[in-house]
Amino acid sequence: MSFLTPLYLIGALGLAIPIILHLLHDRPKNKQVFGSLMFLDKTKPPVDRKRRPTHLLLLLLRCLALLLLVFVFARPFVTVDDPAAAGKRDRQWLTVLLDQSASMQRGDLWVQAKGKVLAALEQLGPGDHFTLYAFDNKADLLVDVISWQGSASEGEVTQLLERLDKPSFGGSNLGQALVFAGEAIQEYEANPDERPLVKRDILVISDLQKGSRLGDVQGYEWPTGIKVSLDQIGEDDQGNCGIEQVAARTLWAATESVPSFRVSNSSNASTDEFEFVAQSSTDDDPLSQKVHVPPGRSRVIEFPTEWLGQSINRLSVRGDVADFDNTFYFAQEKQQSVRIVYIGEDKPDDAEGALFYLRSAFQKTSALNFDVQFMSGKSAAPLPEADLYVVGDAVNAKLSTSLDKAVRAGGTALVIVHSGKQAGNMQQWLDAPNLGIDDVKSKDYGLLQSLKLDHPILSVFRDSRYSDFTNLHFWNYRELQSLPEEGIQVLARFDTGPPAWLLVSRDKGRLMVMTSGWKPADSQLALSTKFIPLLYSVLQPVLESKTQSRQFFVGDQIRISKFNNGNVAGSVSIIPPGNDVAPIKAGDVFLPDKPGLYTVSGSDWSEMFAVNIIPSESRTEPIPMDQFQRLGLPMNDLVATPEQLAVAVATEKTEAHRHEYWQWALAAMLLFVIIETVLAAKGSRSVEPITAS
Amino acid sequence: MEIKSLSLRARAVVEGFMSGLHRSPRTGFSTEFTEYRQYSQGDDVRFLDWKVMARTDREFIKKFEDETNLRCTFMVDFSKSMEFGGDDSGVKKSDYGRTLAASLAWFLLQQRDAVGLATFDRDVREFIPPRYRQDQLKTLLGRLETQPAGQVTDLCQALNKLASLVGKRGMIVLVSDFLTPIADLEKSLNLFTAAGHDVRVVQVLHPRELDFDFEDAAIFEDMESGRSLILDPGLARESYIEKIKAHNAALDDTFSAQGITSFRVSTTEPMELVLLRFLQQQPAKAVVRQRRSTGRTAA
């Protein structure tokens, strides 16, 4: 017999208490009057020299009750080696989350991790439930053994691990994996046919690098009774350096922008001198420059001017220990063409007209090539195809109908109401036969109010730094009469009440109406800082459908339809990086699984895109452990060392194979206490009066 | 005790002891000549012995023995502690003390002395001035027969008060167990001795108060204060005996310092022997300070 908490056995010393109390005389029951107690001192409790059998029995019962209480606390148990008996024990569920993210490629972390999985199998007994997930940015279920069959199941897991020869290139999303595992356990237990499991543990075997995402756990109500143990492998004591591209802030600010890259050095790095190397596709000698990045800092490096002409497609940082993330694949952005048609009577070089400012707003950038055309509203020519139509004047019936069709087919049009002549067009486009247009003669100027900054078109101004429209004065504006109530969103109103900017959905397309334009005679809009963001916002859905970044991360969903300026038809194939690699037939979405330069090609076109490891993987310093506690995870142990794990496994085994007897000891103790109470009550009734001799 | 009536008890005890007379402590105008003394200025000229003066031409004052009877006051402790006893080991201290007082009173009245009685606990309860009357004995016995109702003894306070009540010099017989703090007792007794009283003290104790002869542990309750104490007598005996011996020794010292004759009697002692001892006991020398009266007193 062994004891789970043997220290409580010290409590057996408490047996001395009833023995001493029994040796001491009970409080005398006889009373003796005496002349004066002035010469008497209090003496020690009198000793009973005449013990009675009843007292001995009581003493025995009291001692036994005390002894059993000590036993209950010490938790006696007998380890059972009988396999039949072991089969009857309570089952446990061990879920192992194995990190296979890119950062696990460092050193021998992957081998260590697989070894830890095998070590964890030691604590499993017959009938236990074992689940193994490998996670990076997603969690893959590798094995789910409902009833553990000892060596047979172990062999299955070992074979499976052998097949996992190396980790993936994905980013680590530990939070998602934890939630996934927790939900799986909950789902399984929700089944009423399943016997509830006594112990449910999730063991995370990971390098627990700081770049691992834990956001999914935040706000997730962790199921009760499921404990999480963390087994950190590998201690990052030499730091790591990562490289990533600095994204352009805004579309309209990307004019002729020079690609820039951020080199980050981890805070525990042992070095701060690196070499920034660029390699071109022509396999010329690599270009390089020295970079100084102190530990814990990052530095943005722009391409030197002399590098700009080169067709650089690989960048790397040399000088740190871990090289899994040192190469950055770079695909030059392809310029997308956007066609804008202005329908009106303005001259392109007339600074008093709207077209002049429209052409100025849509300047060519490295990513976008704007083609601004213009035509008269009275023209008999057919309406050309365009991504955005801007209507500045009344148009004839033919154009009006064509425009309506184009918009209904999914086009975008921006209509500026200048005069009452446009009433006919507006009646057609807004399906409002009674619509009229009145000029509003303001004494001084009109201001915008009731702006719907939550709307996607105006959301660019949501930041309080940009939401002030009081500097924007409107000298002339119009009021649309008899507007239909349905199907029209008013994005902004003038301070006198009439709508200023309206958005109308026409089947697949959109029509935006401005009751005052940006001509200098109408307003200050063209000259304000709001003008270009507003036009880009109107164009944004078009750009989103057509443009596609060339830079992706492993695990990103790449929409094939966005390549080739949005004109993807027929079969598309993707050639992964590497030599002699067979092309893959692409569907709508492609999920790259390794970094490199991919080529996507259709029947008559071909484009290149780059896939990289997510930059967060480069942050290899360990996660602060208090972060797990803050997230409310019920931790078994923050980080278990191998020794602690071995002890824990041994304890688990012992617990699994033991029979505890504390319940019986407790029952016996209660019985003794009851008998003692009865005897003591009986004894107290039969006490004889003690008389003075 | 076989004879329950105090009156009978006293008579039975005192029979056979009627012998001897007291001499009055006072001298004064009487018939029995004691001595001559030379006249000094201030003496009353009425007491000049004219005949001697005529004969010898010198002035002499004639002194006479005062023939006044003995005035004896019994002071009996009526506190609760005196109620101890009454079991098979001995009579109550109060019974014993009262019987003793009653016996002596009867005896003194028989020889025509004036007898008074004072009972006390923390204060004076009763005071019957010393008188010689036909019904004095009856009065005294009636008072003595009342059951003590007092609680705590405060001997000093009671004695201080009695000192002011007892007028003329006489004999004071103090009957008590003296189980009380005695720090100021000497001062209180001094009030009597300084006034020329012949103080006799009878300390009545129960045998158990002397040897603490209890066996079983019990809750011991103080008869006066009601305080209780759980005691194992075996453990407490030695210390108790030591303390009571020390207390008695201190009492003896106090009495002898004041020239007081004291008796310590146990309630098991035969009373006639105690009476005999009492009567045979000569007053302590310090007490024999018969003041010479320079003349006839107003009494």
* Tokens standing for residue A202: 């999730």
User: In angstroms, rounded to a whole number, what is the distance separating the alpha carbons of residues A525 and A261?
Assistant: 36
User: Which domains are present in chain B?
Assistant: 33-64 (no CATH), 69-287 (3.40.50.410)
* All residues at 6 or more sequence positions from B245 whose CB lies less than 8 Å from its CB, including other chains: none
CA distance B241 to chain A (A): 8
Residues 6 or more apart in contact with residue A671 via CB below 8 angstroms: none
Strands A412-416 and A436-446: unpaired
> In this structure, are residues A573 and A583 in contact, taking their beta carbons and an 8 Å threshold?
yes
- The predicted structure's pLDDT at residue B149: 66
pLDDT at residue B3, as a whole number: 44
CA distance B66 to B31: 8
Please indicate whether, in this complex, the C-beta atoms of B236 and A32 are within 8 angstroms of each other.
no
Are the beta carbons of A40 and B206 separated by less than 8 Å? no
For residue A140, list its beta bridge partners.
A134
The tens digit of pLDDT for each residue in A614-624 reads 888 888 888 88
Chain B residue with Cα closest to A43: B231
pLDDT at residue B116, rounded to an integer? 92
Q: Measured between CB atoms, which of A34, A39, A44 is closest to B221?
A: A34
What does DSSP say about strands A241-245 and A226-232: parallel, antiparallel, or unpaired?
unpaired
Q: In chain B, which residues have their Cβ closer than 8 Å to the Cβ of A690?
A: 216, 218
**Gap from A24 CA to chain B (nearest CA, Å):** 11
- Cα separation, A87 vs A85, whole angstroms: 5
B228: closest chain A residue by CA: A37
| CATH for A336-546 (3.40.50.360, 3.40.50.880, 3.30.420.40, 1.10.468.10) | 3.40.50.880
Nearest by CB to residue B221, choosing from A31, A45, A693, is A31
Q: Are B128 and B118 in contact (CB under 8 A)?
A: yes
User: Which chain B positions have a beta carbon within 8 Å of A50's beta carbon?
Assistant: none
Q: What angle do CA B21, B24, B29 make, to 5 degrees?
A: 125
Detail the DSSP E strand segments found in A258-382. Answer: 260-265, 273-280, 287-292, 298-302, 312-318, 327-329, 336-343, 368-375
Provide the pLDDT confidence category of residue A257 given band limits of 50, 70 and 90: low
Residue B128's alpha-carbon distances to A57, A289, B32, B162, B197, in angstroms, are 66, 132, 31, 11, 17
For residue range A562-572, list pLDDT tens digits in order.
787 777 777 88
Chain A positions touching B84 (Cβ under 8 A) are: 33-35
Task: Determine whether the interchain pair A28/B219 forms a contact, defined as Cβ–Cβ distance below 8 Å.
Answer: yes
Query: What pLDDT does residue B32 have?
Result: 54
User: Does the pLDDT value for residue A692 go beyond 70?
Assistant: no
- Pick the residue of B232, B243, B248 with the most A CBs within 10 A to test the interface with A by mutation: B232
Query: What is the rounded distance in angstroms from the CA atom of residue B14 to the CA atom of residue A666?
Result: 79
Q: What is the mean pLDDT of chain A?
A: 82
Q: What is the distance between the alpha carbons of residues A674 and A668, in angstroms, rounded to a whole number?
A: 10
Contacts of A693 in chain B (CB under 8 A): 214-216
User: Measured between alpha carbons, how far is A455 from A452 in angstroms, rounded to an integer?
Assistant: 6
From the candidates A25, A31, A37, A42, which should be mutated to test the interface with B, based on the most B CB atoms within 10 A?
A37
Burial class for B278, CB neighbours closer than 10 Å (0-12, 13-18, 19+):
buried
Phi first, then psi, for residue A524 (nearest 5°) are: -95, 10
With a cut of 80, say whether residue A230 has pLDDT above it: yes
Residue ranges of chain A that CATH labels 2.60.40: 241-333
CB < 8 Å to A30, chain B: 216, 218-219
DSSP characters for A434-470?
T-EEEEEEEEEEE-EES--TTSTTTGGG-STTT---T
CB-neighbour burial class of residue B298 (10 A; exposed 0-12, middle 13-18, buried 19+): exposed
Q: Which of residues 11-30 of A touch B (CB under 8 A)?
A: 25, 27-28, 30
Per CB-CB distance under 8 Å, the chain A contacts of B181 are: 38
Of the listed ranges A182-196, A343-357, A504-518, A647-661, the one predicted with least confidence? A647-661
Q: What burial letters (b/e) apply to A530-565, b meaning 16+ CB within 10 Å?
A: bbbbbbbbbbbbbbeebbbebbbbbbbebebebbbb
Question: Is B177 in the A-facing interface, judged by CB distances under 8 Å?
Answer: yes
A32 and B221 within 8 Å at the Cβ level: the answer is yes
Residues of B in contact with A687 (CB under 8 A): none
The long-range contacts involving A660-664, CB below 8 angstroms and separated by at least 24 positions, are A660/A4, A660/A75, A660/A76, A660/A77, A661/A71, A661/A76, A661/A77, A661/A78, A662/A71, A662/A72, A662/A75, A662/A76
Angle, CA A541 vertex, CA A494 and CA A576 arms, to 5°: 160
Whether B62 and chain A come into contact, CB under 8 Å, resolves to no
A53 Cα to chain B: minimum distance (Å) = 20
The burial class, CB within 10 Å (0-12 / 13-18 / 19+), for A287 is middle
With 60 as the cut, is the pLDDT of residue A687 above it? no
> What pLDDT score does B75 carry?
92
DSSP B84-111: ---BTTB--HHHHHHHHHHHHHHHHHHT
Quote the CA–CA distance of A427 and A691 in Å, as a whole number.
123
B98: nearest Cα among B262, B267, B260, B276: B267
| Cβ count near B147 (within 10 Å) | 7
CA of B128 vs chain A CAs: smallest distance (Å): 27
User: How far does the CA of residue A17 sit from the closest CA of chain B (Å)?
Assistant: 21
Among partner residues A36, A43, A691, which is closest to B224 by beta-carbon distance? A36
Residue contact B221–A27, C-beta within 8 A: no
Smallest CA–CA distance, residue B158 to chain A, in Å, is 19
Give contacts of B220 with chain A, Cβ < 8 Å: 32-34, 37, 40
CA B249 from centre of chain: 19
> How far is Cα A217 from Cα A202, in angstroms, rounded to an integer?
14
- Between residues A217 and A403, the one the model is more confident about: A403
Across the interface, of A32, A35, A38, the residue whose CB is closest to B214 is A32
Q: How far apart are CA A684 and CA B76, in angstroms?
A: 45
Mean per-residue pLDDT, A430-449: 87
Q: Measured between alpha carbons, how far is A661 from A68 in angstroms, rounded to an integer?
A: 11
Contacts (Cβ under 8 Å, ≥6 apart) of A634: A222, A226, A227, A228
Name every chain B residue with its beta carbon within 8 A of the beta carbon of A26: none
A681 touches chain B (CB under 8 A): no
Q: Which two tokens stand for residue B124?
A: 């004076």
* Residue B241, pLDDT score: 92
- The pLDDT value recorded for residue B292 is 39
Distance from CA of A54 to the nearest CA of B (A): 20
| Weakest-pLDDT range from A383-397, A507-521, A573-587 | A573-587
With tokens 């290899």, the residue in question is: A620
Q: Which of B179, B181, B217 sits opposite A35 (nearest CB)?
A: B179
Distance from CA of B234 to the nearest CA of A (A): 9
A313 has pLDDT over 60: yes
Mutation target for B interface from A23, A25, A29, A43: give the one with most B CBs within 10 A: A43
CATH 3.40.50.880 boundaries in chain A:
336-546
Domain A241-333 has CATH 2.60.40: yes
State the complex-level ipTM. Answer: 0.73
Q: Is B81 an interface residue toward A (CB < 8 Å)?
A: yes
> Per-block average pLDDT, block size 10, for chain B (299 residues)?
52 48 47 70 83 86 64 89 78 89 87 87 87 86 80 81 84 89 85 87 90 83 84 86 92 89 88 83 49 37
The CATH class, in words, for A84-230+625-656 is: alpha beta
Whole-angstrom distance, CA of residue B229 vs CA of residue A545: 102
The better pLDDT of the pair A513, B228 is held by A513
Q: For B222, which of A37, A47, A692 is closest by C-beta distance?
A: A37
pLDDT (tens digit, 9 = 90+) per residue, A516-547? 999 999 999 998 999 999 999 998 888 877 76
Q: Which of A95-99, A438-442, A576-580 has the highest mean pLDDT?
A: A95-99
Rounded CA separation A683/A508 (Å): 98
Most confident stretch, A6-20, A84-98, A415-429, B31-45: A415-429
Look up residue B63 and give its DSSP letter: E
B:209-228 residues touching chain A, CB 8 A cutoff: 209, 214-225, 227-228
